[in-house]
Amino acid sequence: MPIQSARGAASAKGFGFTAGGVKPLDIDYLVVAGGGAGGDWPGGGGGAGGYRTSFPGGTKLTLTDKITTITVGAGGTNDTSPDAGQKGGDSSIGTALVSAGGGTGGGNPGAPFWNGGSGGGGGHTAPSQGSGNVPPTSPPQGNPGGNTPPGFQAGGGGGASGAGTPAGPMTSGTGGPGGPGANNSITGSPVTYAGGGGGGCYWRGTTGGGGGSGGGGNAAPGSPSTEAPFGTGSDGSVNTGGGGGSGGTSGKGGSGIVIIRVPGPTAPVGLAVAPGTNTLTTLTGGDKLATFTVSGTLTI
């Protein structure tokens, strides 16, 4: 769902230019934060990074600075301590718009960073799921993780389009799947972003939760013979903001992405991105597309 974002104020300098001599530029955007790591065995799935967009049909964001800093949030790391992983990093366009990093999955015995753009799933011994849309935006930038009732496995992390699934019963159920991500065509083709990570399993021979569509990582399966850490959870996919899956070693969150679309008729001649890892392309119809896979700058 497109975000309704207020236009930034521009200081007048004759004929609609700002104080810095730049004509204000209206853009469409997609800003996805880094996903949270999965919780260590038997932990919840990592929450997806916050997902905010104006495309299609939302209120455009107005840029008034010649150079705008673009931040692409890193995925949360998988710690070796029992406090499980870390939440994802925020992504942003200057100071005007921020998407919050995804929360980490509940670990064993607990994790301090459950809340985020989407929340991490509850763990087997840390059952409280993380809240999504933290801090709050309208429309919401994400959803909560799945909870873990007593005697159950672990819940999936929340995704951009839905909450993580609660865990199944300990001896017969599976870890909760991650919440689904959101589909967006700002690039000219549909791509799904910000899926939650799969929740882990405690009981021998049971199945970990699958990652949500949009880059969520799968949880590792349970040990075939005993209740013990077994296998490594999958990482969230790079530049999707997907949450990491739980495992004996939890999966890392996927890094975020920032995409800016400038209408062809208003695109400045000097439009540029840096560093060179990021790209500036022209779409069919003439719109300019700036894609940031790493932090950098946009020059207008």
> What is the reported pLDDT for 8?
36
- For residue 30, give the amino acid letter: L
Share of the chain above pLDDT 90, in %: 72
Share of the chain above pLDDT 70, in %: 89
* 127 or 136, which is more confident: 136
pLDDT in tens, 14-53: 345 555 568 999 999 999 999 999 998 889 999 999 999 9
> What is the reported pLDDT for 3?
41
> What is the reported pLDDT for 294?
98
pLDDT in tens, 213-250: 999 999 999 888 887 777 899 999 999 999 999 988 89
Average pLDDT value for residue range 4-18 = 40
- The CB-side HSE value for 177 (13 A sphere, CA atoms) comes to 11
* 15 or 252, which is more confident: 252
> What is the reported pLDDT for 222?
85
Start-to-end C-alpha separation, the chain: 27
- pLDDT band of residue 109 (cuts 50, 70, 90) is low
The answer to whether 190 and 214 are in contact (CB under 8 A) is no
* pTM of the full structure: 0.92
Q: Dump strand ranges (E) for the chain.
A: 25-32, 51-53, 61-63, 67-71, 91-93, 97-99, 182-184, 191-193, 257-262, 272-274, 279-282, 288-292, 296-299
Average pLDDT value for residue range 182-204 = 96
> What is the reported pLDDT for 40?
85
Mean pLDDT (the chain) is: 89
Pairing of strands 272-274, 191-193: unpaired
- pLDDT band of residue 178 (cuts 50, 70, 90) is very high
Question: Domain residues of the chain, as ranges?
Answer: 25-165+173-222+230-256
* 229 or 91, which is more confident: 91
Q: Is the pLDDT of residue 148 over 80?
A: yes
Distance between CA atoms of residues 262 and 93, nearest Å:
14
* 84 or 161, which is more confident: 161
Q: Is the pLDDT of residue 11 over 80?
A: no
The answer to whether 124 and 146 are in contact (CB under 8 A) is no
> What is the reported pLDDT for 83?
53
